A and B are shown apart, each in its own frame.
Chain A
């Protein structure tokens, strides 16, 4: 986890050929393959506000334009605004004592009033003349830009156009499909509905009235522009009154030019998303539904399943064409012993072969999936109008595998390193008995519970120049015990690992 926030020197090649640090990779337990962000389907689970942590259903979120109703961002520095309370003296007229003198009829009453204030840049809602409110939340005025009505009209029009387009397409499809049989077969008793009969005799569907877009007045371009005021060249500009790019983008509807038109912006909702393997459609990541919870229901991060490789140090000063070695620390995160084999990366032809194999597997999978989907569609509906609507889930596009861009520029001295990585056992820390030293191969420097340190000797390429980065690459074969199936089965999996060992130094 040392490399969670910064660039990592150790990276793994995903099945698709992209290189990522282990913290950005997932492991599908059903395909037994590494998956990166491009190899998983991203699905929105829930919307919530990151400030008030309120969960908002997706339909409501859409209606509210993905903004929280209660929370605001500072238009000046994009920080969260907080409501501050002030006591204001308000004159109050009392009607029940008309007999008394007029001077006593007006009584001063203190009242709590709220305004919004930013703790970062001290912006307040009073700066732009928003009156103080009686209640802290919910009553803040909506700032509407001048062409809101025009915008709404356009929106309405284009929605109608889309609808009309869709209906015409459906109509066309319906006319094009050959009528299989004029009369419904007697065996097909349940299939006969009113709408079907209407369609068979060629009447339009009763409930679909033709949507006709209301006419809009098109915008007209004009070449008559107001001249710039004369003082624009003579008066010094006060940059404090001009809004900056960030502020204008924060208020996209009107993009104010001056600071005095900045209004509090509704806070944009955040999402919780679940990730799904594109090949087997099993969930890889599924968060808990509640916004306050940071836990997962399914979390198949790669560093729970794949041995973690850490670069401890580079042993020697690196020169081109000379031998060097690095010390690596490997950690077994699983509850089963792993036997690990470190060997050279696959050659180009081997890699191409792997890609072909992968593509073939995908194709078989896809064919079966589409035919199954078609089958299920046929069984669900016999009416052709429904087939165009998407009944099935979003069809998963599988990321095209590619050759790994990252190239290693060293050659390993040993063709193979074999060793066993012990299982993770949290209780070993508290064990009294010291491990008896056992016969170890010489490349193993140190071993403790599920961790092992090894020395990896290599020879750098001749062609490297001074200052070039030395990339050590190897294939790491490891045994993985799959516990998804009823009987745990052991598999030999491999991962391609790339390590930045440092720069070539001059003589």
Chain B
């Protein structure tokens, strides 16, 4: 709980973070990320580091929860949730995964439980609920009501067009949080 109490949010240059989103805990947002209004990021069990060029859409939640069964004191053992680059968290998704690699897409209204290990290039389909403990191999696509799995052979398209568009449009209509952290400067200062 100690992390949740003092918010320590580091926003790097070129990241677009809207003011209306709620960021709780120790969160680092890398350059090129886009955080929409009403998005929620909760770093409860430890710090969250959001990789480059991630999109976090409206009403989506990324949470790094304290495990309920075995009590780890966050003050003693600090783990960091490193979220890779180029992930997309679509509208209303709720992701509590313990590891998130690169280039994943979490489609609308999906739920990924805390025991799920998400590697890279995965697509969690709209409305899919992943609850049990599992490790998703690379390029897994989970779709449909019955959560059928398949392996994507072809790489899905990158989100560069979308992220460029958002970077252009969002500042016109929303108040943004100012970047407050520059890794180069910090290194010079220390």
Question: B residues within 8 A CB of A121?
Answer: 125, 141, 143-144, 148, 150
Question: A residues within 8 A CB of B156?
Answer: 122
Could you tell me if B154 and A127 are in contact, using CB atoms closer than 8 angstroms?
yes
**Contact pattern, A 222-245, Cβ under 8 Å of B = 1, otherwise 0:** 000000000000000000110010
Interface residues of B in 126-160 (CB under 8 A from A): 141, 143-144, 148-154, 156
Report the interface size class on chain B.
Answer: 10 to 19
- Separation of A123 and B123 alpha carbons in the complex (Å): 12
- Separation of A241 and B149 alpha carbons in the complex (Å): 10
**Contact pattern, A 127-142, Cβ under 8 Å of B = 1, otherwise 0:** 1000000000000000
Nearest-neighbour CB distance to chain B for A311, whole angstroms, equals 32
Question: In the complex, what residue of chain B is closest to A240 when comparing beta carbons?
Answer: B151
Could you tell me if B150 and A240 are in contact, using CB atoms closer than 8 angstroms?
yes
- Separation of A123 and B150 alpha carbons in the complex (Å): 9
Which of B143, B144, B151 has the largest count of A CB atoms less than 10 A from its CB? Answer: B143
Nearest-neighbour CB distance to chain A for B123, whole angstroms, equals 6
Determine whether A91 belongs to the interface, using a CB cutoff of 8 Å to chain B: no
Question: B residues within 8 A CB of A122?
Answer: 123, 141, 143, 152, 156
Determine whether A259 belongs to the interface, using a CB cutoff of 8 Å to chain B: yes
Determine whether A422 belongs to the interface, using a CB cutoff of 8 Å to chain B: no
- Separation of A126 and B151 alpha carbons in the complex (Å): 13
Question: A residues within 8 A CB of B148?
Answer: 77, 121, 244
Determine whether A283 belongs to the interface, using a CB cutoff of 8 Å to chain B: no
**Contact pattern, A 41-79, Cβ under 8 Å of B = 1, otherwise 0:** 000000000000000000000000000000000001100
Determine whether A120 belongs to the interface, using a CB cutoff of 8 Å to chain B: yes
Interface residues of B in 39-67 (CB under 8 A from A): none
- Separation of A259 and B154 alpha carbons in the complex (Å): 14
Which of B123, B143, B153 is the one whose CB lies under 8 Å from A77?
A: B143
Could you tell me if B154 and A120 are in contact, using CB atoms closer than 8 angstroms?
no
Nearest-neighbour CB distance to chain A for B158, whole angstroms, equals 12
Determine whether A15 belongs to the interface, using a CB cutoff of 8 Å to chain B: no
Nearest-neighbour CB distance to chain A for B18, whole angstroms, equals 28
Could you tell me if B143 and A124 are in contact, using CB atoms closer than 8 angstroms?
no
Nearest-neighbour CB distance to chain A for B68, whole angstroms, equals 31
Interface residues of A in 104-155 (CB under 8 A from B): 120-124, 126-127
Question: B residues within 8 A CB of A76?
Answer: 150
Which of A120, A124, A240 is the one whose CB lies under 8 Å from B144?
A: A120
Question: In the complex, what residue of chain B is closest to A259 when comparing beta carbons?
Answer: B150
Which of A120, A127, A244 is the one whose CB lies under 8 Å from B153?
A: A127
Q: A77-B143, A77-B144 are in contact. Are A120 and B125 (CB under 8 A)?
A: yes
- Separation of A283 and B177 alpha carbons in the complex (Å): 68
Question: In the complex, what residue of chain B is closest to A244 when comparing beta carbons?
Answer: B148
- Separation of A127 and B154 alpha carbons in the complex (Å): 6
Which of A120, A121, A126, A241 has the largest count of B CB atoms less than 10 A from its CB? Answer: A121
Binding site for A on B (CB under 8 A): 123, 125, 141, 143-144, 148-154, 156
23 A-B residue contacts at CB 8 Å? A76-B150, A77-B143, A77-B144, A120-B125, A120-B143, A121-B125, A121-B141, A121-B143, A121-B144, A121-B148, A121-B150, A122-B123, A122-B141, A122-B143, A122-B156, A124-B154, A126-B153, A127-B152, A127-B153, A240-B149, A240-B150, A244-B148, A260-B153
Binding site for B on A (CB under 8 A): 76-77, 120-124, 126-127, 240-241, 244, 259-260
| 3 pairs of A and B residues whose beta carbons are closest in the complex | A121-B143, A126-B154, A127-B153
Known pairs A121-B141, A121-B150, A124-B154. 18 more at Cβ < 8 A? A77-B144, A77-B148, A120-B125, A120-B143, A121-B125, A121-B148, A122-B123, A122-B143, A122-B152, A123-B150, A126-B154, A127-B153, A240-B150, A240-B151, A241-B151, A244-B148, A259-B150, A260-B153
